[in-house]
Amino acid sequence: MRRALCAIMLFVASVDPSATLGNVGSPELDLSHYYSYEGVMDYLDTLAKDYPNRVFLKDAGRTYENRMLKTITISNGDGVPGKRTIFMDAELHAREWMTPMAALYAIHQLVVNFAENADLLKNFNWIVLPLANPDGYEFSRNSDRWWRNNRSPNGRQCFGTNLNRNFDVAWGQGYSELADPCTESYAGSEPFSEAEARLVRDIMHELVDNGSGTMYLSLHTANRSMFYPWVYESSPTRNHHELKEIARFATDRILRETGTQIKPKQAYYYGGMVGGTSLDYAFKVGFPLSFVFEMSGLAFGVEYKFFPPPTAIRRLTAETWVGIRALAEKAIEKYPPGRAIPAIQRKPVSNRAPGSQDLNILVGLLSTLLAYVASHLTS
């Protein structure tokens, strides 16, 4: 039945790629174009307004350019405590425009199309950060489409840190560009120097500490791969066979239902050793399941990589949902409520992602300082 539904969805996409996704009276997800930052925020706000019993939004932090880092928590609304959690983020890399669209598609399936996906929310809640790098995303959309990093200044007229090299696991290890503040691989001045990476870390820590963190999934484009740890070393994880089984289950489902081949593998064996990734960090701190889904950039027989045409958005997001759903099914199967998740000790951290209150204090201090300097310059 699911295969038939997927085929119907893909057929509709090819016939009418500009059609919106939504039921009568429900919020529509417009898949005819790439959403702006404001469009993503507005869509999340609409869902929270229309589904207050199952959706909770949080302004979880602010970027260097004062954009919101907004998370959405999705439940089935039954109020049962102690459920496990799937945490998904998208758009750590600015030029990967398809990833926030795929995240919004997944959110839409879980919220608006809840009846079809209620099994994914029976014993699990979802937390989704659909736009993890809004500054970089807007810069990529409007100024330099190949931009990869965030937009924090590094000095010497160089900007941006690669957020997926800023995590505290083998940080700075791999290749020389990680230390160069003028490259797209720059790992930052120190681990978690960037607010966006700190927010992802803080969510991970909270979920691990409360015992609910089960699967971390980060959406990327466009290598058509399903990665699992480790990236920073070649040795397998303690549950390597479980990760491999789940990744293969998802990629087999995608191939069977869409015809697209996604390669499952330990990330180290794709591009070699590199440190500072969210994939490794999630597993290191206690998520038993951690994956990077490198989505396809193929459209109409052409490899578009990061920038498929808008007419391909519906098909590619539907294809990605097939994989996301398969991963979730296996996570739920492997980690039922009765299975214990091993606790992992870690060092406490003090720096956290700046919230709106922190930002207001900082702006106030800076304004006072500027006023003081100005008054002394003119006196």
What residues are labeled active site? 294
Structure-token pair, residue 367: 């304004």
User: How far is it, in rounded angstroms, from Cα 326 to Cα 244?
Assistant: 13
Asked if residue 106 lies in contact with residue 21, where contact means CB atoms within 8 angstroms, the answer is: no
User: How far is it, in rounded angstroms, from Cα 120 to Cα 88?
Assistant: 14
The rounded Cα 177 to chain-centroid distance in angstroms is 24
User: How far is it, in rounded angstroms, from Cα 83 to Cα 222?
Assistant: 32
Phi, psi of 191 (to 5 degrees): -60, 135
Structure-token pair, residue 149: 């990093």
Asked if residue 67 lies in contact with residue 139, where contact means CB atoms within 8 angstroms, the answer is: no
The rounded Cα 72 to chain-centroid distance in angstroms is 12
Asked if residue 57 lies in contact with residue 71, where contact means CB atoms within 8 angstroms, the answer is: yes
